[in-house]
Structure formats: structure tokens, C-alpha cells
């Protein structure tokens, strides 16, 4: 059963389109991540669920009930804001208790819940402090505590980790995942950080310019990006992309490009029949490029000659930039590879690892 | 001589300030501070501290018409003036005047600021209107209200007449149906004062309102707060420094009001608006009793000081500074 449903939701701010024809079903107890570059509409979508923005068109449903006109406080949602929005004049205790007080719980019950939440989050010693006296990480915990203590049907999180330093972010990421498992509740999590999305989400919904690009489990989104935008956005270093033309020779279908000519396998040829005019984009992930000839494994491969431009050693691996004609290719290679700029090397790619997109529409072909 | 030595010789090592000016040594901390404080200390000395001390001093003398102390009377004059019925009356009038103007002005200013802070069409227009009285001088405002309150030609009585209510001699009726000791004149003067101060109050509170981060409201709304709870738990606490500031400034203003009283009522009728400041003026410049005026001035100083301390004592704890 869908817990939260976006039914063709659009939101305009004057002329500006924030979200357009957005439809998405979010399931009970799911951890879904709304991912996209800044300004893509992901935060607006979240705020529409919270009731802080009204959809211009379409419906938003919580538990199968249209809540377009329902005030935020009657939606039974809790939200964690990017800069926490803690009440600066209240102690940590009162910050956490505020939502419970507003709901008219008994004082003793509030006390029990606040202390329990504070204990779980390691805030026990800090209950009398004001937010101004806390570190960034502690404030973030108070913001989480304020949400958890409410036990809502859905948690909304708007980039909750973006103000933390790198180390704390990784740590809190894991804690949030654990928290989700423990609470058994739906999380809608907004971020622009693909690592957070990949590591935390049950599913990822990728937005760009207000439009939903693709929804799916992280691995699926990575392995089979639905269009050129998703292919380029997910993965670091980004997927190599180059334009190609489909040509039939001797009964086989080839993708001819500046980089090389690739004989497509049967499945890809099948998908490629959808290409509008034979103009495609070919994509290959950096980890799918190998230095050396195409011997072994028996899989269909293509080998091209390329010149080393730049080698970046990261300790566990090396990112090597090659150039061939006017195109550049980035390969993720073993750190022990000994390459230096201007070396000419053969680069091999397995044809099964190629991604094919329609150049006009950006849609995935195979 | 080598060129390197020449370069070194051209740049002597910097001499520490204390070695170059030994007299700076012991005095440097205190004296250095005094250098920076000299101008304000001089100005305060001439215009505040000296007159204050002189007033206290003058209170011990019966003065001649030129303000020179003539006959030393010790505390007799203090005792005589401070226990006189007319001082008690003016003390009561002053406190009533403050009570009429300060809370009303603050609440009205808060309401105006909240209204002007709404994101509605024409909000800018209302912001301008609400804060416009800041540009009116005391004299202009007083004359304007003098006309509005005119018993026969003023619009206030005309409005009362439209509702078949009796006309009121706002500025001259010493008593209002025998029940209200201060009569309508004090209310009329208070009204003028509130009108005068409302622009400043609104402006300060509006600026403070716009400094409250929007997410606090969003967060509280998601947390379940009603509009009333938002006002009580977010807006008012976040406004508290501005509110304290406004209350203290308005109180001090109330205790020091003179212009509007001088133009509207001259302290009358029957001393109904004879606040301490006005009685100082009357004593000093009408009756030429500088000594008695000095005593009243000292009393007013103590009153304002005490009032301000009390406000700090009881309100400062409720104020949250970010």
C-alpha cells in the first residue's frame, strides 16, 4: 500500500517551475531518497508533503487521503530541516518536547518520551542547554530527537547531513539507516549527495528541473540509468559519454563514433531499433575500461588506442584520463598501474557494459 | 661597505613604544583608555554630570530669581517639596501617564508590526503608514490633536455625536463624571503621545520580526503549533529583546514628555496633566523657584532610574538574546 502518493503534482512559483507533473508512490516503511542537483525541485516536493507548500496542480495523498488542504500539524509528519531550525530560545528538553506539548500530551508522558529519545541519541547530559551552546553534530541530534519523539507516520528529512563535517556525516549516515530499521517507519530523504542516496535509500527518485527522471533501487539506477541525465549524474567519476551513429554492416549493428566502432550484441541491437534516427549516445562507466588487449573471457569486446592525459592516484585506485580524437575517457584503474602522460595504450571495453541512449530524447535504448 | 650592510642600516629595528615614550609606561593602560574616552566624558560631563550634581546641590538652597542659591536650607526644601500635595498629585499623574501610554503603545505597535509583516498586497503601504508618525514633530502632532479634539469643531466629538454620545471637553474638563480623578485631559494627552511613539515602536518591532528565521515557523507548524502558539512560543520570545528595548525607551519617554502637554493643556485643567516634568518647568520658569524645581528634577531622576532598574530586574530574565 502506498503511504504517500504524489499524483501528478506540479508547483509553480510565478513563472518558475519547481516541480512538474510529479507522480510517485512511496510505500509504507520505505526509505526513499529524492536526489538531484540544487534547484531540481526535490526540497519543494518534500515541503509539499509537509504541507509547507501547496501544490499548484495535482494531489498529494497520505494514507490514501488527499491532504492538499490539510494543515501541516494535522498531517502527522515530522520534518528535519537542513539547518535544523531548532528553537534558539528553548532548552534542548523543550525543543524536543515542543511537538508533544502542542499535541496536548500529559506532562509526565512528555517527560518520559523526551528522556527516552534523549537517551537513545546520547543527549542525556545536554537537556538543559540551549541550541547556541551545542556543536553542529549535537544540534543535528536534537533536530532528529525532535522528529523521533513524535512517532509520525512519515519522517521528512531535508539534507539533514549537509551541515556536518565529512567524518560525522559518514557516521550519522549509518546511524540514520539503523534508526530507520528500528523505527519501522517511512523516511523521505532529500539530498544532492549521491553517496548518501546510494548508501541509504531503498529506492532513489532522481529529479532534474522539476521532472522525475527515474525511480528505482540504487543498484538498478546505477546499472541501468534510464536516461542520459541519470547516467551522467549517478556515479563518480561520471560515466563516459560520446555520440555515435548506428550502422548495419554484414548483418551486424555497429555504433560508430570518434572513439571507436562497437559491434552491438543481439540485445542491444534489439533495443536500438527504437532509436529515432540512428543518432545515439554511447556510455561506459570508468570501471568498465581496461588497459590491454581484448583477450580472454570470451565476451565480445572492443579495443581502442588512447593517449594518457592525466593520472590521479587515490591510494586504492587511480583515475586516468585518456584522450582519443576530440573525446576524453576516464578510467578507474588499479592504483598500481604505471602510466604517465603521453603514453599510448590500448583500452578495452566489454560490449555488454555499454549503455545506449537515444540522442534526441535522452531515453535509454539498451 | 657592502651593499647588504647599507640596506640593514637603512632599516633600524623598530623601537618598542614604551622605550621610545617611557612616560607611557605605567599609565599606558589607564591613560590609553582615557584618551579614547576623553571626548564623550567631556560631553557627558558638561551636559549630564555637571547639571545633575548642580541640581542636587541647588536643591539645598532657596534661590534668587536668577537661579543662584541664596540661602542654605539643607534637606528642608527636599522635605517640603516632596511631601506637598501638588508633588504627590504630579507623581500620580506621571505614573498614570506612563501606565496609559507604555503598555497601550507597545501592544498597538506590536499589532501594527504583525499586520505590516504579513506578506499581503499593499504591505509596503501599511508599513509606511504605520511608521510615518516617526517623522512628525511633537509640536506638529500636538497641534493636530488640538484640532481633532476641539470641543465644537473637532472630528472626535463629531464622531461621538454621530452615535448620540455626549460631547466631551477633552482638554478642559477637570473631571469626567466625578469618577475619574484625572479627567479626560490626561487621556487626550496620552492618546497624542501614543500616536507620536507608535511609528518608532512599529518600526523597531517590524525590523525585529523580519529577523526571525522563517524555518522556525515552518518547524513549529509541522510540530503542530496553532497561529496562537506560534505567536506565543516563537514570535514573542524571539521579539523579547526588541520588546524590552521598546518598553524602556517608551517609559523614559513617558516620564520626560513635555511638548505635547505644554501645547495641549499646560498642565491643566486643575493639574490633571501636570506631570513632574511640567511642574519642573512651572516651578523654574514661571515661579522662578529654581531650588524647588531642582528637587523635583532629582525626584524624577530617581523615579526613572528606579523604574528602569525594576524593568531590567523583572523583564531581563525573560528576554532571550541570540
Kindly report, residue by residue over B70-92, the tens digit of the pLDDT. Answer: 788 888 888 888 888 888 888 88
Q: Measuring CA to CA, how many Å separate B7 from each of A215, B2, B10, B121?
A: 72, 9, 5, 71
Q: Is the pLDDT of residue A221 over 80?
A: yes
Each domain of chain A, given as residue ranges in start order, spans 2-232, 238-358
Instruction: Write down the pLDDT at residue B1.
Output: 43
Q: Which residues of A touch B225 (CB under 8 A)?
A: 73, 98, 102
| Partner-chain contact B220 A87, CB within 8 Å | yes
| Partner-chain contact B219 A89, CB within 8 Å | no
Higher-scoring residue by pLDDT: A283, A252: A283
Average pLDDT estimate for A280-308: 80
| Partner-chain contact B218 A51, CB within 8 Å | no
Kindly report the nearest CA distance between residue B309 and chain A, in angstroms: 24
Pairing type for strands A186-191 and A154-158 reads parallel
Ordered per-residue pLDDT tens for chain B, 322 residues? 444 455 455 667 777 766 766 665 666 677 778 888 999 999 999 999 999 998 888 888 888 777 776 788 888 888 888 888 888 888 888 988 999 999 999 999 999 999 888 877 777 888 888 888 888 888 888 888 888 888 778 888 888 888 888 777 777 776 654 454 567 888 888 999 999 999 999 999 999 999 999 999 999 999 999 999 999 999 999 999 999 899 989 998 899 888 888 888 887 777 788 889 999 998 888 888 888 888 999 999 999 899 888 888 887 777 777 6
In CATH, which superfamily holds the domain spanning A238-358?
A: Nucleic acid-binding proteins (2.40.50.140)
Q: Which residues of B touch A102 (CB under 8 A)?
A: 220, 223-226, 229
How does DSSP classify residue A363? B
Q: Which CATH architecture has domain B80-318?
A: Orthogonal Bundle (1.10)
Touching A: B residues 175-234, CB under 8 Å: 213, 215-216, 218-226, 229, 233-234
Kindly report the nearest CA distance between residue A195 and chain B, in angstroms: 27
Interface test with B, best of A50, A102, A154 (most B CBs within 10 A): A102
| Partner-chain contact A89 B237, CB within 8 Å | yes
Domain with CATH 1.10.3720.10 in chain B: 80-318
Q: Least CB-CB distance to A50: which of B222, B226, B240? A: B222
Q: Which residue of A has its CA nearest to B218?
A: A52
Q: Which residues of A touch B218 (CB under 8 A)?
A: 50, 52, 72, 79, 81, 85
First-to-final CA distance of chain B: 64
Q: Which residue of B has its CA nearest to A150?
A: B223
Pairwise CA distance, residues A295 & B152, whole Å: 111
Fold that domain A2-232 belongs to in CATH? Rossmann fold (3.40.50)
Characterize B63-102 residue by residue with b for buried, 16 or more Cβ atoms within 10 angstroms of its Cβ, and e for exposed.
beeebebeeebeeebbeebeeeeebebbbebbbbbbebbb
Amino acid at each position: 500500500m502506498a503511504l504517500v502518493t504524489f499524483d501528478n503534482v506540479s508547483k509553480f512559483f510565478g513563472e518558475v517551475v519547481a516541480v512538474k507533473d510529479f507522480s510517485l508512490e512511496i510505500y509504507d516503511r520505505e526509505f526513499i531518497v529524492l536526489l538531484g542537483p540544487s534547484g531540481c525541485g526535490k526540497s519543494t516536493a518534500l515541503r509539499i508533503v509537509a504541507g509547507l507548500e501547496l501544490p499548484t496542480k495535482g494531489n498529494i495523498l497520505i494514507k490514501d487521503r488527499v491532504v492538499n488542504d490539510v494543515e501541516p500539524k494535522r498531517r502527522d509528519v515530522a520534518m528535519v530541516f537542513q539547518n535544523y531550525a531548532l528553537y534558539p530560545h528553548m532548552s534542548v528538553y523543550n525543543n524536543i518536547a515542543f511537538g508533544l506539548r502542542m499535541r496536548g500530551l500529559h506532562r509526565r508522558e512528555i517527560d518520559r518520551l523526551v528522556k527516552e529519545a534523549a537517551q537513545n541519541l546520547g543527549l542525556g547530559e545536554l537537556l538543559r542547554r540551549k541550541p547556541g551552546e551545542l556543536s553542529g553534530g549535537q544540534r543535528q541530534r536534537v533536530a532528529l530527537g525532535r522528529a523521533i519523539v513524535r512517532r509520525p507516520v512519515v519522517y521528512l528529512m531535508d539534507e539533514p547531513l549537509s551541515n556536518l563535517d565529512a567524518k560525522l556525516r559518514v557516521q550519522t549516515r549509518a546511524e540514520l539507516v539503523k534508526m530507520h530499521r528500528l523505527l519501522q517507519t517511512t523516511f523521505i530523504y532529500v539530498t544532492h549527495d549521491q553517496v548518501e542516496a546510494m548508501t541509504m535509500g531503498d529506492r532513489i527518485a532522481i529529479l532534474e528541473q522539476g521532472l522525475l527522471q527515474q525511480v528505482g533501487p540504487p543498484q538498478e539506477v546505477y546499472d541501468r540509468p534510464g536516461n542520459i541525465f541519470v547516467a551522467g549524474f549517478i556515479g563518480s567519476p561520471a560515466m563516459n559519454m560520446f555520440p555515435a551513429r548506428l550502422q548495419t554492416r554484414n548483418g551486424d549493428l555497429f555504433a560508430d563514433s570518434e572513439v571507436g566502432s562497437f559491434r552491438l550484441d543481439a540485445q542491444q541491437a534489439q533495443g536500438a531499433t527504437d532509436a529515432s534516427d540512428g543518432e545515439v549516445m554511447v556510455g561506459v562507466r570508468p570501471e568498465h575500461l581496461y588497459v590491454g588487449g581484448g583477450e580472454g573471457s570470451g565476451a565480445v569486446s572492443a579495443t581502442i588506442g588512447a593517449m594518457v592525459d592525466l593520472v590521479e592516484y587515490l591510494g586504492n585506485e587511480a583515475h586516468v584520463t585518456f584522450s582519443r580524437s576530440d573525446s576524453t575517457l576516464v578510467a578507474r584503474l588499479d592504483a598500481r598501474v604505471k602510466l604517465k602522460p603521453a603514453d599510448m595504450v590500448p583500452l578495452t571495453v566489454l560490449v555488454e557494459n555499454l549503455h545506449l541512449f537515444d540522442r534526441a530524447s535522452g531515453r535509454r535504448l539498451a | 661597505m657592502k651593499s647588504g650592510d647599507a640596506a640593514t642600516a637603512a632599516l633600524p629595528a623598530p623601537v618598542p613604544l614604551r622605550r621610545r615614550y617611557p612616560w607611557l609606561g605605567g599609565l599606558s593602560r589607564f591613560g590609553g583608555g582615557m584618551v579614547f574616552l576623553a571626548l564623550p566624558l567631556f560631553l557627558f560631563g558638561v551636559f549630564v554630570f555637571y547639571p545633575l550634581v548642580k541640581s542636587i546641590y541647588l536643591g539645598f538652597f532657596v534661590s534668587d530669581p536668577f537661579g543662584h542659591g541664596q540661602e542654605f536650607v539643607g534637606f528642608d526644601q527636599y522635605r517640603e517639596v516632596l511631601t506637598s500635595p501638588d508633588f504627590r498629585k504630579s507623581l500620580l499623574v506621571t505614573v498614570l501617564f506612563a501606565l496609559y501610554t507604555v503598555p497601550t503603545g507597545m501592544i498597538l505597535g506590536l499589532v501594527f508590526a504583525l499586520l505590516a509583516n504579513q506578506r499581503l498586497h499593499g504591505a509596503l503601504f501599511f508599513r509606511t503608514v504605520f511608521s510615518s508618525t516617526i517623522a512628525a514633530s511633537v509640536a506638529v502632532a500636538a497641534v493636530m490633536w488640538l484640532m481633532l479634539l476641539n470641543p465644537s469643531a473637532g472630528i472626535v466629538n463629531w464622531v461621538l455625536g454621530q452615535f448620540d454620545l455626549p460631547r466631551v471637553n477633552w482638554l478642559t474638563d477637570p473631571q469626567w463624571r466625578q469618577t475619574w480623578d484625572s479627567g479626560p485631559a490626561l487621556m487626550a494627552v496620552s492618546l497624542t503621545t501614543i500616536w507620536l511613539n507608535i511609528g518608532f515602536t512599529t518600526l523597531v518591532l517590524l525590523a525585529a520580526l523580519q529577523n526571525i528565521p522563517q524555518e522556525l515557523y515552518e518547524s513549529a507548524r509541522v510540530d503542530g503549533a496553532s497561529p496562537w502558539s506560534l505567536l506565543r512560543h516563537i514570535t514573542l520570545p524571539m521579539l523579547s529583546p526588541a520588546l524590552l528595548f521598546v518598553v524602556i525607551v517608551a517609559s523614559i519617554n513617558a516620564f520626560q514628555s513635555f511638548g505635547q502637554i505644554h501645547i495641549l493643556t499646560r498642565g491643566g485643567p486643575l493639574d490633571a496633566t501636570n506631570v513632574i516634568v511640567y511642574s519642573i518647568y512651572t516651578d523654574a520658569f514661571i515661579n522662578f523657584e529654581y531650588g524647588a524645581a531642582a528637587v523635583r528634577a532629582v525626584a524624577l531622576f530617581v523615579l526613572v532610574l528606579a523604574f528602569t532598574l525594576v524593568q531590567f530586574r523583572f523583564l531581563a530574565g525573560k528576554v532571550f538574546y541570540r
